[in-house]
Amino acid sequence: MKAIRLTAPGLVERNPLTADDVPVPEPGERELLIRIHACGVCHTDLHIVEGDLQPRRSPLIPGHQIVGIVERVGKSADKHKVGTRVGVPWLYRTCGKCEFCKRGEENLCDEGMFTGYDVDGGFAEYIVAPADFAYRIPEQFSNEDAAPLLCAGIIGFRALRLSDVKPGGRLGLYGFGASAHITIQVARHWGCEVYVFSRSNHHRKHAEELGAVWTGPSDAIAPKPLDSVISFAPVGELVPNALRALRKGGTLALAAVTMTPIPSFAYPLVYHERTIRSVANSTRQDAIDFLALAAQIPVRTETEVLPLEEANRALQLLKEGKIRGAAVLRVSH
């Protein structure tokens, strides 16, 4: 099968991903063999390819926003039938036995494995995935439009929950890429006022088109105190800015998988019971709940689609901030 692999991390400008022909994987007893139609391109892929997150295997096939059709099933994998369209997200497998799994916090599993990081991902024609960690895709979404839902959407949804925003509340978003352009649609569905901070005029205009009541640069002062803030940007310097935007008792959720150092700041920024919390991965319930809600709203993803062979180019555009909405690789029709 065709696959795009990473052998050694490097700057995406140097085209570190290479096209290879590799064997089609064999599904295990509780696994599915999925023929991939589309795979979203995420900032986490960029961090892995460039080495901000050190890959856990080499060579590695990146990609963790996967949409495809079940082609074969293991003998004990009865959750999905051959021919079913499914999605495979970042969370690939958990142990089900550690204290976190037993508490319903499987996103923190001690032995958790992640797609396109611990195991080969979706920049390829096929993937093998555990049947219990694959999800049916609502019919109204095309393959390309569904792909960003599987990380950008799920993580944004979890970040909304962890930000403690209430229906009708005032929500701030720092950074406006793939995840934020989905998150704002859920927040608007809940009746929230959304304030967007971005260095990009292009992205701020996009936010306004999607219903933001105010937009400004990342160092701007919000016109009103915000109940909750989510920072999608991997930039630690934005944390003090976000705290200044919060009302007393507000919550800042950090949704980036990695981040530059957070500078020191004066204690009054967190006094009055302001909360800072990170968003780490997601659970299966997050995926189930979000996909159902996305179909109900319905969420409309905006995608820029490139062929699989242009994976390096997709990551370059992502790094340059030139993607409106989400980048998606088309693997097959």
Fold of 2-141+301-330: Quinone Oxidoreductase; Chain A, domain 1 (3.90.180)
140-158 pLDDT, tens digit each: 999 999 999 999 999 999 9
The structural domains of the chain, with segments of one domain joined by +, span 2-141+301-330, 154-278
pLDDT at 7 over 80: yes
User: Residues 177, 200: contact at Cβ < 8 Å?
Assistant: no
**Helix 311-319 × helix 43-50 angle, to 10°:** 100
Give the distance from CA 83 to its chain's centroid: 26
Residues 196-209: what's their mean pLDDT?
96
> Among the residues of the chain, which ranges form H helices?
43-50, 99-102, 143-146, 152-162, 178-189, 201-209, 238-245, 284-296, 311-319
CA 25/CA 33 separation, integer angstroms? 8
Q: In Å, what is the CA distance from 265 to each residue of 225, 242, 247?
A: 19, 12, 17
Mean pLDDT of 3-31: 97
pLDDT value of residue 55: 82
CA–CA separation, 178 vs 40, rounded Å?
10
| 190 pLDDT tier (thresholds 50, 70, 90) | very high
333, pLDDT greater than 80: no
> Domain spanning 154-278: which superfamily?
NAD(P)-binding Rossmann-like Domain (3.40.50.720)
The label of the residue with tokens 């189930």 reads: 288
**Phi and psi torsions of 212, nearest 5°:** -60, 135
Count Cα neighbours of 289 within 13 Å in the Cβ-side half-sphere: 13
